[in-house]
Amino acid sequence: MVLSLDLARLGAAYAAGTTTPCDVVDEILRRIDAAGEDHVWISRRGAEDLRAEARALTARPVSARGPLHGIPFAVKDNIDVAGLPTTAACPAFAYRPENSAPVVEHLIAAGAILIGKTNLDQFATGLVGVRSPYGTPRNPFDPAMAPGGSSSGSAVAVAGGLVSFALGTDTAGSGRVPAAFNNLVGLKPTRGLISTSGVVPACRSLDCVSIFALTVADARAVLAVAAGFDAADPYSRAAPPGFALAQRPPARFRFGVPAPAARAFGGDPTPQAVFDAAVARAIAAGGEVEEIDFAPFAEAASLLYGPWVAERSDALRGIFADHPDALHPVTRQIVGAGFSQGAADLFAAQHRLAALRQVTAPLWQRLTFLLVPSVSRTFSLAEIAAAPIACNSELGRYTNFTNLLDLAAIAIPGGFSPAGFPAGVTLIGPAFHDGVLAAIAERMQRDAATPLGATGLAQPEAAPAPPARSVHPEIEIAVFGAHLTGEALNATLIALGGAFRRPCQTAPAYRMLALPGAVPRPGLVPVDEGGAAIAGEVWALPGAALAALLAGIAPPLGLGTIRLEGDVPAFGFICEAGAVGEDITAFGGWRAYRAARR
C-alpha cells in the first residue's frame, strides 16, 4: 500500500501505530533517491540527522505530541533555517543564519520534520520557476512544462509526494501559480498573519509566507500553527479577537466572477473549462454568482510592475552593486529597471492604489469571495525561453493584485487537460477572511474529486465539520425590519461594512409589533403560544462595527438570540418584553406589512 502524506491519513496511521516517524523518514529518503536529479532541492538535512529526530519523536508519549507530529515538510530557500544556508537561489548571496525564521520554529515546535530547502526563481523574482542556477524543478506531470514559480521546488516537492506540505512565499502569485501547475492547494494568507522575519525580502510591504498542501484541510492545519504576531516584523498583524480558521461553509453565499469580456485564457481551453466547472460547483454548494467589473483589479495588478519594482530593487541593492553577474539575466534586468523609479512615481501609484481600494471595497459588502482562474494559461519551458517577460506577466494576470489590495486567497485544484496537465481556480476575499475562504474551498476541492498532487491518490475522507458559530472578522446578525434591504436603516448596515448573506425565517415562535416612532420599525417578540414564522435577512457585520450598531439601537429594541427555522440559534434584533405596538404578525414579515400599507 502506498503511503499517503496527507495529514489525515498520516495522522491516523500514527494514532493506530501502523506507521512511525522513523518509517516516514525512511520512505521519504527512498522517494528522493528514486526521483533522481529533479532540481527540487538546494540543500537537505543529512539522513542520520533526520532519523535521529524521527526516533526522538517516536519516543514521545502521545500526550506530548504536537499538532503536526511527524509531518514532513520543506522550506523555500529564501526562508531561514538554522544549520542550512539561505541562498535565495544565488550562491554569491548565501549565508548561514544562526536562527530559523519564526514560522519554521513554530512548525518544528509542533512536531513537524524539516526535510530540506527548495529551489526557487532567484530572489523570488518570477512566476515561471526557471530562473535558478540550480536548474528548473521537473514538473511531475510533464517535464516539458514549467513548474510555476517562484516557489517551484516547494510545489514540486509536495506534488511528488516528497513532503506533506511546504512553505513558499507569495508577493505576486508565487504561492498560487505553482499550485495550479502542480495540482495543489496554495494558501496565501492575509498579509502579516504569518511573520516574514527571517525571509529574504522581495517586496517587503507585500510579501507573504504561503503554504503548499495536498488538501485545503492540510493547509488550514498548517496555517493554524504557522500564524502568530511577531513584534520583530514591522508588517506583522495580530489576528482580530475571535478570528478562527476552522469554520463551516455558509449554506448560502454570493460570489463574484470577472465578466466574460475580462476573462482571458490565451487560447488554452483547459483553464477556461476548469473555471466554468468551478463556477458550477460553487453554485451547487449554495452560491449565487455575480459578474463583476474586473478592470479595477486588473489596473491594481499593473501597478506591481511600476514603482513596486523599486522596492524589490532596494532589497537587492547590495548584490546588484557588488556581484551583478551573480544574478540571473532576467532577474538582473528586472532589478536594474527598478532603480529608475522615482519617489514621485511611487506616491502617484500609492494614491491610485488607494483609489482602487475604495472602488473595489463595496464589492465585499455583498460578495463572500471573488472566484478567478489561478492562471489564464499554461506555458512550456520552450515558450518561456522564447518570451520570458511576456509569459511571466501573463501568469500574474489573476494574482498580482491580491496583496496590493490587502486580500487573502487560496488556490485549489480544478481539473486536467486531455493530456493530463492540471489547472485550478482561486478564491479571493478580504483580509482575515481566511477561514471562510478555506471552508468553501475545501468543499469545492472535494466536489472536484481531483487526486492529491501527482501521487494519483484519492482525497481522504472529510473530517467532521467544526461547530457552527459566528466568528470574527464577521458577526452574522438577523434583521427583520428597518435594517432590511431597501428599508430606512439599511444604509446604516452598509456604512458599517455590512454585507447581505441570505434571507431567513424565524422558528414559529414570535409575534411582530409595529412600534410607534419617527422611523417606522417593527419589534420581534418571543412567545410561548400563538407565534408565527417571521421573514427576515441575515447580514454579516465586521466585529469591530458591532459597538457602533448597538449605539444606534433605540429601546425597546436590542440584540439577542433569535431562533431561526429549524431551531437554529442566531444573533439578531429582538424586542423587550412589554413593548406596545400594533400586532402585525399575520403579515409574516415587515416587508409584507409595509407593502399592504402603501
470 is catalytic: no
Beta bridge partners of 167: 75, 211
76 is catalytic: yes
**419 — phi, psi (to 5°)?**
-85, -5
Q: Which helix (H) or strand (E) holds 287?
A: strand 287-292
Q: How far apart are CA 187 and CA 409, in angstroms?
A: 6
The whole-angstrom distance between residue 525's C-alpha and the CA centroid of its chain comes to 41
Contacts for 257 with CB less than 8 Å, ≥ 6 apart: 279, 289, 290, 291, 292, 370, 371, 372
Residue of 4, 151, 164, 174 marked catalytic = 174
Residue of 150, 152, 195, 197 marked catalytic = 150
Please check whether residue 237 is in contact with residue 191, taking contact to mean a CB–CB distance below 8 angstroms: yes
Q: How far apart are CA 522 and CA 590, in angstroms?
A: 7
* CA Rg value for the chain: 26
E-only strand ranges, 119-236? 165-169, 185-188, 209-213
Q: How far apart are CA 154 and CA 157, in angstroms?
A: 5
Provide DSSP, 363-417.
GGGT-SEEEEES-S---BHHHHHHSHHHHHHHHTTTTTHHHHTTEEEEEEEEEE-
**Residue linked to cell 502617484:** 348
**168 — phi, psi (to 5°)?**
-125, -165
Strand pairing class (253-258; 185-188): unpaired
Provide DSSP, 127-142.
SSS---TT-PPPPSS-
43 is catalytic: no
Residue of 4, 76, 152, 313 marked catalytic = 76
Contacts for 550 with CB less than 8 Å, ≥ 6 apart: 559
Q: Which residues are catalytic?
A: 76, 150, 174
